[in-house]
Structure 1
Amino acid sequence: MSAGRNTSTATAAGDAPTVAELERALGEAAAGETWQDLERWLEAFVRFRTEDLPGLREAMREPAVRQAPPYDKREWPYPAQWVEAMADLVTTPGPHPVGRLPDISRVSAPHWLLLRRLAEIHAAVRGGTAPPYLLATPTTGTGGLDPAALVARIEGYERAGVEALPADLQQALLRLPRRIPPEVAARAGRLTSAAGVTLAGWLTGRPEPRTRIAWRHGSGVYLDDREPSPSSEVSLVPGIRAEHTGLELVDHLLSAPRPSRWQADGDDPRGWPAMLPHDREAVAVHYLPHLFCREHGSHIELTHVQILSVTDGPPGEAIALLAAYFLLNRKWNRAPSGVSLLLDLAARGDLPTAEVGRQLALLLRRTWLKAAALRESMELAADRGGHDHVWQIMTGLLPAYLPGPGERAHAGHTQVLELAARIAHRTGAGGELPCVAEIAGRAGESGFLRAARHLRAALN
């Protein structure tokens, strides 16, 4: 019995599969376009290469004929190209070219991790050193990995004298949860291989990424939330900091991405949450360089953030900014579409309401997004039962959005005050907001001042 039979929870025990079963498993995985399909394909390909190489060759023969390997391409930025090359490795005799990674400077950090993992599997199969199974195959639908399963997989490697593939091991570590049962940590501490020692160290010293978002205008950086915008050229400067681990791909992924970039070939943000399923704030930071593109539209879609929202990890500025963006963004002039995301996060207790409000204020101040979209989203969220959360969002929005010293009020400020008054009435909110009280106390009878007084009265 192979090591893979005992240790990989993603594999089935029992007799070797028939060729038909193997072909169906590989065909279903190869035909899909999701990260789950790719993981199933990799797991089946590597495992069956050890357990049933003739069957694997027969199962891969038709896909290899249907899609020629990408040997005429200068680089392989798409996962499908690596799949095609690996199929050719087992079906076509003779020498095969080495894999062709694109330059790291043109690839987002999550996509680079995926490509490096594919490249090392390709190289191991090409060189005849592939392991009997992979370490990083997820055990949950969000990309998470059961720590006991990973310990068992490495135990199997140690019994078989197999060395872990570096990118596969690092991806496995990133898929582990924050909390590890003591008995699993104790088992990991008894591992003796380099991979086992690395795992034990990770379980006792897991890096905690810290995120921060800055905003640029032209060549300058905003220093205050209410600082007037001197330029329409705004961009985000997303940041991640984490303890240095010495693991190349982990450290690359847990460091700040470039402030802005194009949508690189092969990038698929749908699969990024599964690479860091317990660090969603870090994934959100990697989304941000792709967020603003007024001319061509954002490369980040609401569905990407919805996938991210069901993963784990404390939310912060980046999650709040994404939630705020989709409350304001009108795609093809339709109503904003982020209310369901907002309510889902709130229902799970994962909505940083005050920070969402602050990010809404920054988006309204510094981008082309408009207060009319905010009104639609907030009222719809309140109608769907989220009025308490909406009010908490407003308390984060008003201090950063209302005009400061030297600023002139405009219609958007009046609309937001009127919205806040309606929400305050619905929630029965009380207390004083200094930013509103100061405005309400000014002399005059403008619509802006009347709206501030109405809100102040609603809170008393």
Structure 2
Amino acid sequence: MDGVGALDSLGAVAEEAAELLGSGGHSVVAYEGMLEALVRWCGRDRAGLGAALRPVMEPYGHFRPRSQAGRRLLTVMRSATELVVPEPPAGDGRGRWLETCQHEAVRLVLNSRVEELCERLRHGGAPPMLLATASRESGALDPYDLVMRLTEYEQAGVRPGPADLGQALLRCGGGPADPDVVRAAEQLTLPEGARVAAWLRAGGLPQPGWSREQEPGAPERPSRRRGARVGRRVLVGTGALEGRGEFPRTFWPLFRPFEPLIGCNHLLLDHRERHAAAALPWHPEIVAARLLTEVAAAADQGGEGGPEFLPALAGSAGPPGPAVHLALAYGLASAHAGDREAAVRAVLHLAARGRLDGELLGREMAQLALLGTVKVPVVTASLAAAAGPPGAPDGSGGPGAPGGLGAGGAAAVWPVLAAALPPLLAALRTGTLGRVPPALLDLAADCARHSAARGPIAEVTALAQRPGSAQSVRAARRLRDQLAGG
């Protein structure tokens, strides 16, 4: 069936919908394809779609899907199968929407697109297709695909939904589009054509400025009253961006300055999801900055959830910066194994793409360790897992395991350790830090050997010159000799 792709039968739609509801959204491409299929089947055989989906939705009459993505999909499915009396659409929510939290900016974009689609489906106004359906797993949308879809809207005499178009524009970026595509957008007779052409010509949303901010107050040990947050986290703020006026009001928080030290009392851990990263595939820093508090909670408060979020950030089309690397640092120190494994996958994915700033990650990890926010032994185990051969995220390929370290993983981890060790060992010498696990130095020596690293590190040399045979001293001597070419 044209335009439906692999979901070419109602049976296939029902089967895929059941899997997506139970899996937390599955891949971005599969999830977006399901939304697209629901829209198209509404236009072809709405009664048949309802008959196929009702058995799938029936188990969710008394409870909700576990994931945010699953709950959004279920809402769309119900709207696609329950036509109500037509009435004017609600528009972009003017007059009935209230921003309650800076951290919710990305969630508002995701929800407003779904709410807009549900309004149209429930009132018999199914669009020909969705404009923002992602072209790639990162969430990125090819500008050519967007212009071709708008052409079909024009031929059908249908206006785009503001939220769907807004999401589509946010998914187009990475630099000015092909001039032929821009000219095709300019030739559209839709009122939105000139806006789309200008957006594509400019290359999409610019990257925001950023600021690195530490929570105020002297770092305190965790307590029942205050948890683990007083003075113990490093967060990232982002600057204001221009151009919000033509977007729905629910998109405006993305364009405002983000001030990370303004807290809230209702932040939920299930905002971390791969679809959050896919909402702004060219701007992982905007997404990471706003959800960094949630990622940090996995390290210092035992929070759990969203293990797909960090790999999705690492797969973003846009450049990773301080917020993404801080998210990795917190993730590597997470209390739960699933979140740590996700962080390891994210580190390796960024390294494979040549986008991992090992020095930045190492500095941030050391800073968080000195604040007492992350535990060095936990981070050491995560880095050992990353240094192992591909396919061993549980650390089974770490030092001492059969086959030893993988050269690729070691090359990725060594710059992290080379940047983290100097401040950690300096703090050890001054008494600021109680101890540095010998395992960290042993891992550094193994990574230095497999990546053929050379050049002395003053703090390592100073520790190696101490008298005695303590484990940490022996490990420092091994690393010193390795860096000297021994």
TM-score normalised by structure 2 residue count: 0.72
- 1:394 aligned to 2:391? no
1:216 and 2:219 matched: no
Report whether the alignment pairs 1:184 with 2:189. Answer: no
Change over 3 Å in CA distance of 1:354–1:278 after alignment to 2: same
Contact 2:50 2:81 in 1 (8 A): no
Once the 2 structures are TM-superposed, how far is the Cα of residue 284 of structure 1 from its aligned partner? 2.4
Q: Structure 1: which amino acid aligns with 2:420?
A: L
Corresponding position of 2:127:
131
Pairs within 5 Å for 1:327-346: 327-331=332-336, 338-346=343-351
- More off after superposition, 281-290 vs 51-60: 51-60
> Quick one: which of 140, 162, 165 aligns to 2:161?
165
Say which of 256, 276, 287 aligns to 1:272.
276
Partner of 1:253: 254
Compared with structure 1, are the counterparts of its residues 335 and 119 closer, same or farther at alpha carbon in structure 2 (3 Å cutoff)? closer
Instruction: Give the C-alpha shift of residue 166 in structure 1.
Output: 0.6
Task: Report the AA paired with residue 252 of structure 1.
Answer: P
Determine if the alignment matches structure 1 residue 370 to structure 2 residue 367. Answer: no
What residue in structure 2 maps to residue 384 of structure 1? Answer: 406
Note the C-alpha offset of 1:291.
1.5
How far apart are the structure 2 equivalents of 1:421 and 1:187?
57
Name whichever of 149-158 and 56-65 sits farther off: 56-65
TM superposition shift of 1:38: 4.8
Residues 53 and 334 of structure 1, relative CA distance in 2, 3 Å threshold: closer
> 2:53 and 2:181 mapped to 1: Cα distance?
38
Question: For the Cα contact (< 8 Å) 1:430–1:458, is it kept in 2?
Answer: yes
CA change 1:410–1:422 in 2 (3 A) is farther
RMSD: 4.4
SS at match of 2:426: coil
CA deviation map 1:367-389 (0-9, x unaligned): 34322234334444161222233
Q: What is the rounded CA distance, in whole Å, between the counterparts of 1:299 and 1:209 in structure 2? A: 30
1:299 positional shift:
4.2
CA contact (8 A) 1:211 1:285 kept: no
Label 1:235 to 1:23 Cα distance change in 2 as closer, same or farther (>3 A): same
Shift of 1:167: 0.5
Please report how far the alpha carbon of residue 427 of structure 1 lies from its aligned counterpart in structure 2 after TM superposition: 3.9
Unaligned runs of 5+ in 1: 71-76, 222-229
State the partner residue of 1:308. 313
Q: Deviations along 1:89-116, whole A, 9 cap, x unmatched?
A: 32x6698998999854267222211211
Distance 1:420 1:266, change over 3 A: closer
Query: 1:63, 1:450 → 2: CA distance?
Result: 61
Aligned mates of 1:412, 1:337 — CA distance in 2? 27
With 203-212 and 113-122 compared, the bigger mean Cα shift is at: 203-212
Query: 2:288 matched to 1:284?
Result: yes
Q: What per-residue deviation string (whole Å, max 9, x for no partner) do you get for residues 254-277 of structure 1? A: 552755555549745132122122
Q: For residues 97 and 82 of structure 1, do their structure 2 counterparts lie closer, same or farther at Cα, with a shift above 3 Å needed?
A: farther
Q: Which shows bigger deviation, 250-259 or 332-341?
A: 332-341
Partner SS state of residue 208, structure 1 = coil
Q: Is the 8 A contact 1:329 1:337 kept in 2?
A: no
Kept in 1: contact 2:269–2:303 (CA 8 A): no
Deviations 1:23-65 (A, max 9, x none): 6425633652315565344323333333444544555566677
Gap regions ≥5 residues in structure 2: 64-69, 220-227, 389-404
In structure 2, distance between residues paired with 1:295 and 1:328: 8
Provide the identity percentage: 28
Q: Distance in 1 between matches of 2:280 and 2:363?
A: 26
Per the alignment, residue 43 of structure 2 pairs with 50
Aligned length: 432
1:56 & 1:417 partners in 2: Cα distance?
Answer: 60
Give the structure-1-normalised TM-score.
Answer: 0.76
Secondary structure, in 3 states, of the residue corresponding to 1:429?
A: coil
Q: Does 2:29 match 1:29? A: no
